[in-house]
Structure 1
Amino acid sequence: MRNTEIGVCVIGSGRAGMIHAANFRRNVPHASLVAVVDPNEAVAKQAAESLGIDTYYTDYKEALKSDNIDAVIVVTPTIFHRDIVVAAAEAGKHVFCEKPMAMNANECEDMIAAAKRNKVKLQIGFMRRFNDSFIQAKEEIDSGAIGDVVLVRSLTRGPSIPQPWMYDLSKSNGPLAEVNSHDIDTLNWFVDADIESVFALAGNFRCPQAQAEFPDFYDNVVLTARFENQKQGMIDGAVSVKYGYDSRVEILGTEGVIFIGQVHEKTIVTANRNGLTRPVMNSWRTLFSDAYLAEDVHFIECILEDKEPKVSGNDGKKAVMVVNAGNQSIKERKEILLSSVLAVKA
């Protein structure tokens, strides 16, 4: 590393990639955005221009050759995560990888091993752990404010139609991965135990355009989980709901309950002859903007202070295993033990 300023390259110039890029360009202390990568040259060039930087690449392998880059932010389709992260680690670059971490447990283990072998940091993008409300909820759980946690219910519903590649579960692992990875990590974090088994139900109710070519694609899913300590979890996930972006959590304890989130963006309510109106949250980019910045700041701190990220590769692997087990449960219509998923992938 050249000095105390970390040169950052964002690999993937889509919506989430540009959130991270803008943070590192202007708002993260001791970090400098030096390049962006996208296989579509027009997209890469436009991203660089909008960010006010000179360097862009269409091949991440070329970016990894640069001595000006100390760390990379991987924000590509999930199927590419393993190869990019391993290559970056082998090149001596620290890695922030957006969720979902990878396609299966084996890929996660490859990424964890590469980071360890090359002595670089690996952080996974579960930004809800950096949201003030989630942090406070975790503190209250740990303080015993609601007694022992019994059940965590977490839902995420998105308004937009999935990108075409997401319909193919062999490339995306479906909404359980793309939408509900955050919910899975929320359950793991708040219960503070490993999930033992899951049972999931799913269907395609709003995306008829995917049914012919991708009959296994689902836009609505419900997953129940049993933890090794017998605590309970429930996840509700949906895409293309159209009414807005919806993220809420309920944590039930032996002596109380904690609620996080609301569907409304603001507290204002307007009433007139047409009835009541209240603004609805329209995007995850709005709801979690501060959390995205906080996790980016944390990543740079971990590099400079040589400390382990709060969200590790092992955390990412646990979520991926639940995704794989959930998809297997949907297909086989039965409860799936996570130990059997790991055995199959090994």
Structure 2
Amino acid sequence: MKTINWGIIGCGNVCEKKSGPSFYKIEHSNLVAVMRRDLDKVKDYAMRHKVDKYYTDADQLIADSQVDAVYIATPPNTHMQYAIKAMQAGKLVYVEKPMGMNSAECEEMIRTSETTNQKLFVAFYRRALPYFLKVKELLESGVIGNVLTVEVKQYRSPRVSDLTSSDHTWRVDKDIAGEGYFYDLAPHTLDILDFLLGEITDAKGFSANLGQFYEVKDTISAILKFKSGIIGSGRWCFVTSAQTDVDSIIITGTKGEIRFSTFAFSPILLLSDTASESFDIPSPEHIQQPLIQTIVDELRGVGKCPSTGVSGARTSRVMDMILNA
């Protein structure tokens, strides 16, 4: 393909800045169609982003002969449905995270990708960000020696919408989004650990609803075992005090450690036997653009995207193991 023509299913908030503009700002890439069920909102999005065609029916966008690739930016409960339809219609797919509601859905999406010979990518965009590539560079340099352990901690206070049942976001509706904020946020961390340290082959966890603001789990603790032998732990809690908010990953090796974050892009700290350094690397304006660039590059035969259906499914499998699903 010389130029990739994209269509978006679900042009909501994530498409305003994080992803949407990337499709028409990248060379050899065009955004030609968008879809949202609300006519006024999809028309407004199309007008502001200068997109020629807009739909309120996903099937119509998928059937559009001008669309080569479909970006699925809907809630997780529709990812498999739209991805399979798009691939069966001869479109390659870029789907938001988590890839599916569970690992079984992910495997079905992978099977469809294989039988239709259509590529499947997942929006674990941290794999292409300079911030995390720097962490990977430090690990591969051997500056902290052989990696022994990794410790994850994410504590966050409740959102205002969590406090009143009538205001709850779809993200805490189990039928729409799975197990709440854990399904929404933890996949980014688990996937970047897969990217940095290799496959997680086993995980066990405990989970509870301690805040009682909504029905899904808000507190999760897990232990992780990597294929390499590295042992990890993770704690997530979404009902803490704002004074105890934390977003931290610590990778410890035989000669030191690396400290960084999943969401805050706090300075990367290297503490080792031979060096003590800090690296301040901000995120780009459109945070998904580097990964989308790798997709366009792969489709043009000049690169490789690091986030595929196969790698995305591994993260869903780890979450299933943690939640004993």
Same fold (TM over 0.5): yes
- 2:265 and 2:8 map into 1 onto residues whose CA distance is 29
- 1:263 and 1:70 map into 2 onto residues whose CA distance is 31
- 1:266 and 1:327 map into 2 onto residues whose CA distance is 29
Alpha-carbon offset, residue 229 of structure 1: 4.2
2:94 counterpart SS class: strand
Alpha-carbon offset, residue 168 of structure 1: 2.5
Partner of 1:166: 171
Name the aligned partner's letter for residue 113 of structure 2: A
2:6 counterpart SS class: strand
Alpha-carbon offset, residue 302 of structure 1: 1.3
Task: Give the 5 Å matches for 1:183-198.
Answer: 183-198=189-204
Task: Give the 5 Å matches for 1:134-213.
Answer: 134-156=132-154, 160=159, 161=161, 164-174=169-179, 175-205=181-211, 208=213, 210=214
Identity of aligned residues (%): 24
Please, which moves more after superposition, 73-82 or 167-176? 167-176
**Residue 238 of structure 2 corresponds to residue 232 of structure 1:** no
Does the CA-based 8 Å contact 1:193-1:227 persist in structure 2? yes
Does the CA-based 8 Å contact 2:208-2:220 persist in structure 1? yes
Partner of 1:302: 298
Partner of 2:32: 34
Name the aligned partner's letter for residue 223 of structure 1: A
Partner of 1:282: none
Aligned with residue 314 of structure 1, among 310, 314, 320: 310
Name the aligned partner's letter for residue 190 of structure 2: I
Alpha-carbon offset, residue 186 of structure 1: 2.0
- 1:228 and 1:56 map into 2 onto residues whose CA distance is 45
Give the direction of change, closer, same or farther, for the CA distance of 1:56–1:156 in structure 2 (3 Å limit): farther
Give the direction of change, closer, same or farther, for the CA distance of 1:85–1:265 in structure 2 (3 Å limit): closer
Does the CA-based 8 Å contact 1:204-1:219 persist in structure 2? yes
Aligned with residue 69 of structure 2, among 68, 71, 81: 71
Partner of 2:220: 221
**Residue 322 of structure 2 corresponds to residue 323 of structure 1:** no
Unaligned runs of 5+ in 2: 163-167, 268-281
Partner of 1:94: 92
Unaligned runs of 5+ in 1: 268-285, 329-340, 342-346
Name the aligned partner's letter for residue 320 of structure 1: S
Name the aligned partner's letter for residue 207 of structure 2: L
Does the CA-based 8 Å contact 1:98-1:125 persist in structure 2? yes
1:35 counterpart SS class: strand
Give the direction of change, closer, same or farther, for the CA distance of 1:30–1:242 in structure 2 (3 Å limit): farther
Give the direction of change, closer, same or farther, for the CA distance of 1:290–1:246 in structure 2 (3 Å limit): farther
- 1:90 and 1:310 map into 2 onto residues whose CA distance is 23
Partner of 2:125: 127
1:48 counterpart SS class: helix
Residue by residue, what CA displacement relative to the aligned partner does 1:216-255 show, whole Å, maximum 9, x if unpaired?
A: x133333222234442222333447685996432111111
Give the direction of change, closer, same or farther, for the CA distance of 1:223–1:15 in structure 2 (3 Å limit): farther
Does the CA-based 8 Å contact 1:157-1:237 persist in structure 2? yes
Please, which moves more after superposition, 225-234 or 98-107? 225-234
Give the direction of change, closer, same or farther, for the CA distance of 1:246–1:45 in structure 2 (3 Å limit): farther
Please, which moves more after superposition, 109-118 or 76-85? 109-118
Please, which moves more after superposition, 287-296 or 105-114? 287-296
Does the CA-based 8 Å contact 2:152-2:250 persist in structure 1? yes
Alpha-carbon offset, residue 142 of structure 1: 2.1
Does the CA-based 8 Å contact 1:246-1:263 persist in structure 2? no
Partner of 1:106: 104
Does the CA-based 8 Å contact 1:155-1:246 persist in structure 2? yes
Does the CA-based 8 Å contact 2:200-2:224 persist in structure 1? no
Partner of 1:277: none
Give the direction of change, closer, same or farther, for the CA distance of 1:143–1:320 in structure 2 (3 Å limit): same
Name the aligned partner's letter for residue 231 of structure 1: I
Q: TM-score, normalised by structure 1?
A: 0.78
Does the CA-based 8 Å contact 1:195-1:226 persist in structure 2? yes
Give the direction of change, closer, same or farther, for the CA distance of 1:158–1:90 in structure 2 (3 Å limit): farther
1:21 counterpart SS class: coil
